[in-house]
Every structure is written in C-alpha cells, then in structure tokens.
Structure 1
Amino acid sequence: MTGSTTRQQIVDAADSLFYGRGYAATSFADIAAAVKISRGNFYYHFRTKDEILDAVIEKRLGDRKKLLAVWDETARDAAVRIECFVRIVIANQAKIMAHGCPVGTLTTELARLDHGSKEKANQIMALFRDWLTRQFEELGCGGQAEEHALHVLSWSQGVATLAQAFKDEGFIRREVDQILEWLNSVRPAPATRANAS
C-alpha cells in the first residue's frame, strides 16, 4: 500500500466517521481502527485531528465541485441543473435520514465549537450558493437570482434536518415536489427570459 493510498484511506474513514458520529465525538483511535493501521503509520500522515479535518473539508469541497461540474456538463439547461440539486435529497435520503446533510451538520458543529476550520467548511455552502445563483441568473431571474439560490439552499438544509428528525420518506418526496413546483413558478416566461438576455 502506497503512502498516498494510506493517506486517502485515512481521509475517507475520517470523512465517514465525522459524518456518522460528528467531529468532536471521533477520536484518532477511531479513525486508526477504521483504517486498520498502526498509530505510528497514522501519525506519519497526520499529526493532529485538525489536519485530518482540513483534509476532509478539502475532500468534500472537491467532491461537490466535481458533482456540480457533471451537472453543468450533462444537464440541458439551468432549470434541470437546479432540479438535480433539489433531487439529491431523494438520491441520498437513507444517509440524510440517518445523519442529516454532511455539509450542514459539519458546518453547524464547527460553528458551535467555534472551531478554526469553520470558515473553510463554510466554503462548501458558499460553493452551492454561488452555483445556484448562476443557474437562476441563466434562467433570467436577474436581481432575484441570489435570493432564489439561498431559498433553495435553506430549503435543502431544512428538509435534511427534518428528514433526520422524523425519518419520513414521504415527507422528503412531498417537499421535493413542492420546491419543484415553486421553481416552475419563479421561472420567467420565455419572452421575459429572452428580454433579460
């Protein structure tokens, strides 16, 4: 096993544990046990749990950038791309019902701890906000683009929180249907979109 492979396994294990248990409740020993490596080998790659946290945040940020890039490349228009973002709560509903949103739970925990990496974690939320804003601008929503982006982002976080609390798949699907109905209502008519271009 190469050093880079071991390092990635540590980051992947920490990512999973931080999501399932929380950052504060996960120890070095928990991560080392999950990867099945010696403490010495572990410390060769990471000296502190905060170093692992930063690597996990970088991984999550990179993973989300790749996902958004795929939607940018494959979805035919901005409305479909926003719909992809909305439907992710259905695609990940089992994990969300068990642990909440991986981004939202981490940013909330780090803010509560007043942790030094909280701003770094917030970059993922900012990534979503900026990407959604661009989609609404492309739809022709003009000055309301960021407001709409924040509405979708706050909706997704609220649904994830309630899904975790109530474990109700029907609730998630009803909420997705309602937000998609809202999305159709805020789309400017074709003539308006043409004039906005």
Structure 2
Amino acid sequence: MFYQIKRYLLTKFGDIKIFKWPMYVLYHPTSFRIKGSHTREIMDIVQPGDLVMRSYINYLDGYFIPKGDSDCSHGGLYVGDGKIVHAIAEGTLMDDIIDFCRCDRILILRPCYGQQWAVEHARKCADQNIEYDFDFESGNGKYYCHELMASCFPYLDIRPLSRPIPIFQYIGLDIPSPVAFLSDSFYVNRHFITIYESDGRALK
C-alpha cells in the first residue's frame, strides 16, 4: 500500500511546476528553455551510447531530487535513430529525442568505451518495459533512471553517491540524500566526457 502511494505521488510530482512570484502552480507546463535551435544542435552532436541528461526549473520534484554538480535530475541513453531509452514512472521506454529535449537544461556525456553493448542493453530494457524502481534500491529487477544508465556500463566504475537535497538547502539545512546513482555518478566519473551544455555551446 505504501509503495502504491509513493508511486502515485512521485508520478504526479514530475508534472507540477511551482512559480514563487506570483505564487501559482501549473500542471503539465509547455514552455521550456531548450528551444528548437538547441534541439537541432543536440541532434547533430549526439551519438549512440551517449548519456543525455536533463532538468527543469521550478518543477516540484526538482526540490526533492539531488542534482549535484551536473545540475541535472534525469537522464537516458541515446540509442540512435533519434531515440532515447530512459526509465520513468510508466516504466523503461524509448522516446523521441525531440520530446526528451522539452526541458530547461541538457547535458550530454560520452563514455570512453562500451557504447555498443550499452545500446543493445538499453533497447532490451525498453522492449521489456522494465518497471520503474520507486524504492531506489539496486538488484530488485527494476530501474530508476540513473540506475538504468549505470546498468548500461557495468565496467566503467559508476558509483552511487549522496548529494544535498534541494528542499532542505532552501531552508538552510545541508541534509544529504540516500546513497544512490545520481547524475553526478556519471558527471564526475573519469570515463565520461562532457560534450554538450544546454547553453547551445558544443564542447571540444
């Protein structure tokens, strides 16, 4: 019962955007900082096996998901043909990169090796529509987004981390998150290179 309640709340949190001033709440917003020009540049740069990470500004779940140095809260694996595999509340799905880029920040990381196996693994996970892991625990046959990404690169020493939880930082408390795979698990990993930031500037 508790798991079902948590699943419902976390699913809804991902669709709610809060504006501080004037104070109001918006469900399923449609305006984002990543525009068509950014998406075209991303599509020119991204390669199969790249990790594509994103985040939103003022979304309710962003106050609870630790973003760390990457400033991203969600991610997926680009598998080619304009498709990204990622784990969301509805399960492990394959989405169009254009839809995935409807957000406020994009970060692309390129692994030093292992792309082919990663793409094959991600496609299998999407075909099976593996259930989302609302408990954020490893080894239970389910995946949350960063856990799915880590499973795609088993030999790159990707480690679970802990980062401050934003909602507590806003009130002056430095309370760390539980140890789990986060965006920073890849962003600070020496086996991944940042090749794109969401200001539209490709990195060499």
TM-score normalised by L of structure 2:
0.28
Q: Which has the larger helix fraction?
A: 1
Q: Which has the larger radius of gyration?
A: 1
TM-score normalised by L of structure 1:
0.28
